[in-house]
Amino acid sequence: MHSAQEKYDIIVLGAGHAGVEAALACARLGVKTLLISLNLDAVALCACNPAIGGTSKGHLVREIDALGGEMGLAADDTFLQMRMLNLSKGPAVHSLRAQIDKTGYHLRMKRALETQENLTLRQDECEHIRTENGRVSGIICAGGTRYDCRAVVICAGVYLKSLIHIGEFSREQGPSGLSRANALSTSLTELGFSLRRFKTGTPPRVLRSSLDLEKTEKQYGDEPIPHFSFLTDGLKKEQDLCYLTYTNSDTHSLILNNLDRSPMFSGRINAAPTRYCPSIEDKLIRFSDKPRHQLFIEPEGASTCEMYVQGFSTSLPKDVQRDALRTIPGLENCEITRYGYAIEYDCIDPTALDASLESKDVNGLFFAGQINGSSGYEEAAAQGLIAGINAALSVKGEESFILKRSDAYIGVLTDDLTTKGTNEPYRMMTSRAEYRLVLRQDNADLRLTERAWRIGLASSARYDRLMRKAEMIDRAREALKKTVPPSEALNALLAAKGEPPVITGVRLDALLKRNGIGYTDLSALYDTLPALTEAARFEVETEAHYGGYIERENERIRRFEASENILLPEDMDYNAIGGLRLEARQKLSDARPKNLGQASRISGVSPSDIAVIMIRLKEAERSQKKGEGEDR
């Protein structure tokens, strides 16, 4: 065996959305990092939709940014269109989505890697993870090249033994015609990891000049243009249009008549599919009562004429894809540039990891992204950031950085994967977050940036911005405590908003709670209210309008965190606890939860099982106190 070619503190395997964030986090925390990619032309590749954010995913991007990650900044730099989703609903579910320039985003992220201090970027393929005494010691790449390291972060995406399906045709390759990773799966199996097969897919791309977009509904970007990063001051550019059209009965008949040629329905694919991003075939079966399904026609980039058909993910044969698309308004003469396909791949059971995304059994081995059973760029990037932070802290001998469910959507994501696991590609959704009114996208910086600054990831410039915003909000809160007398101008404002007049003195914060009354309305009447930025104003108004609900949610968080603080002994023998159901004993023994809250979220552990564990903990506490008394 050749001696090590080079030595690094951390090696990150894979330069997709998870690998990029992991490598940047490691390098920015001051550790010598090597990032290995199968193909440097696929760094941060958007193999599916060239879009960042969306419902709940926008929350993840804002949190990644608040922690010092790169995704939000890159999206702001390369967007084609920005839209805030769910504005007709409450602020808890507002989520930003950007249509991005696919090539521009890749180049923007690659440049960030190439110019990052402490980071080396290299094209190669890892085939084997080396360990010594239960700890990672290095890797071996194709051709026998060996690297020594103290930690490895695996961000292999969908490349492990990946298999592409288009109708009756299959090929051993990765997404977008790229090579797959053939050997790493075997190395993971040898290390004791249980692998499973998952499946995802992508729609066809069509040539813009072959479309009649006048038959579709135009979708405009927002003005003024919103942005992801808390460091972005404002965006100004002409936004591209997206377009909305629909399937119809002809589309459905053609697809249903050819289901036997779809590998998902013919039995040629046995991998678990993505429930929350179904193929068009799945939609027609699961939602057979729907007469039509919406499709968004979206640009792939500023330098290409390819358009993405969102909502038409498929693995149907090429001729069926073409004929089905041509039944759709605006696409009657469409020319397909790239056919849709299904891809199946190896991934691990994420319950083999702890909340830091480190293996429970192999020290120094971290996992992030789709190899953990998740789907989506944003979910991958969030995990990559957490795994990278914790890998760096591990080699520096510092305490792990853990986000709880009450801290962030990222905390919900990592807890769902590592505690509950998943039997299908996992997608983040607002409904998964119990405390979503507190975990809004707009306050991600207030929740997370100071914590990132303390570990050295968030820059001083980012921290200073946070402090200015927080101080502005505090001044406004104090000024809103002032009581003002009734006045003609105030009552005129209230009448215009459909609110009853005031006849006695009233506090400004009470006025702000009224329907339709904004901070700007009040500041126009009372010059004692300080000027606020748009972001600070939104925080102040949200607190006023939803204050009671937020306080109730904070009380639920306090109860949740109390259970998280009840630690479980690492050596607790669940098989010896009378009253625990057999399934609970097995699940708890396998998962080894660190606290009572985590134990309560394990699938197969019931509230009655938790009550039994509580009794055992109290008995142990009484025995310990009795023993201490006898010793005295």
Q: Write the pLDDT tens digit of every residue in 524-540.
A: 999 999 999 999 999 99
Give Cα 552 to chain centroid, integer Å.
26
Average pLDDT taken over every residue of the chain: 95
Contact 61, 72 (CB under 8 A): yes
pLDDT score, position 629: 61
CA 54 – CA 221 distance, rounded (Å): 14
pLDDT score, position 619: 84
The DSSP output letter for 5 is S
- Residue 632: is its pLDDT beyond 70? no
Q: Which among 363, 375, 361, 365 is positioned nearest to 417, based on CA atoms?
A: 375
Q: Is 489 exposed, middle or buried (0-12, 13-18, 19+ CB in 10 A)?
A: exposed
Q: b/e map of 332-363 (b: 16 or more CB within 10 Å)?
A: eebebbebbbbbbbbbbbbbbbbbbbbbeebe
Give Cα 211 to chain centroid, integer Å.
33
CA 98 – CA 61 distance, rounded (Å): 11
Q: Which two tokens stand for residue 105?
A: 């985003």
Q: Which residues contact 441 (CB under 8 A, 6 or more apart)?
A: 58, 59, 62, 94, 95, 96
- Residue 607: is its pLDDT beyond 90? no
pLDDT score, position 287: 92
CA angle 139, 141, 146 (to 5 degrees): 55
Q: Which two tokens stand for residue 356?
A: 């830091």
Question: Stretch 16-26: mean pLDDT, rounded?
Answer: 98
pLDDT score, position 3: 59
Q: Which residues contact 31 (CB under 8 A, 6 or more apart)?
A: 9, 10, 118, 392, 395, 396
| Helix (H), strand (E) at residue 615 | helix 607-631
Q: Write the pLDDT tens digit of every residue in 342-401.
A: 999 999 999 999 999 999 999 999 999 999 999 999 999 999 999 999 999 999 999 999
End-to-end CA distance of the chain: 61
Question: What SS3 class is residue 476?
Answer: helix
In residues, how long is the chain?
Answer: 632
- Residue 563: is its pLDDT beyond 80? yes
Alpha helix (H) residue ranges in 355-485: 377-395, 409-415, 444-455, 460-479
CA 23 – CA 39 distance, rounded (Å): 16
The backbone torsions φ and ψ at residue 219, rounded to the nearest 5 degrees and listed phi first, read -120, 115
* 64-73, 76-85, 91-100, 255-264: least confident range: 255-264
Spell out the SS3 assignment of 512-559: HCCCCCCHHHHHHHCCCCCCCCHHHHHHHHHHHHHHHHHHHHHHHHHH
Contact 400, 394 (CB under 8 A): yes
Q: Residue 224: is the preceding peptide bond cis (ω within 30°)?
A: yes
Residue carrying structure tokens 């396909």? 341
CA 370 – CA 362 distance, rounded (Å): 20
Q: Write the pLDDT tens digit of every residue in 199-253.
A: 999 999 999 999 999 999 999 999 999 999 999 998 999 999 999 999 999 999 9
CA 56 – CA 19 distance, rounded (Å): 21
Q: Write the pLDDT tens digit of every residue in 150-180.
A: 999 999 999 999 999 999 999 999 999 999 9
Long-range contacts of 546-555 (CB under 8 A, 24+ apart): 546/90, 546/91, 546/437, 547/513, 549/437, 550/437, 550/438, 553/435, 553/437, 553/438, 554/438
CA 272 – CA 599 distance, rounded (Å): 26
**pTM over cut 0.75:** yes
Q: Write the pLDDT tens digit of every residue in 286-300.
A: 999 999 999 999 999
Q: Write the pLDDT tens digit of every residue in 459-481.
A: 999 999 999 999 999 999 999 99
pLDDT score, position 622: 82
Question: Stretch 585-602: mean pLDDT, rounded?
Answer: 91
Domains of the chain: 6-199+345-455 (3.50.50.60), 205-343 (2.40.30.260), 471-554 (1.10.10.1800), 566-631 (1.10.150.570)
pLDDT score, position 620: 80
- Residue 265: is its pLDDT beyond 90? no
- Residue 4: is its pLDDT beyond 70? no
* 44-58, 272-286, 315-329: least confident range: 272-286
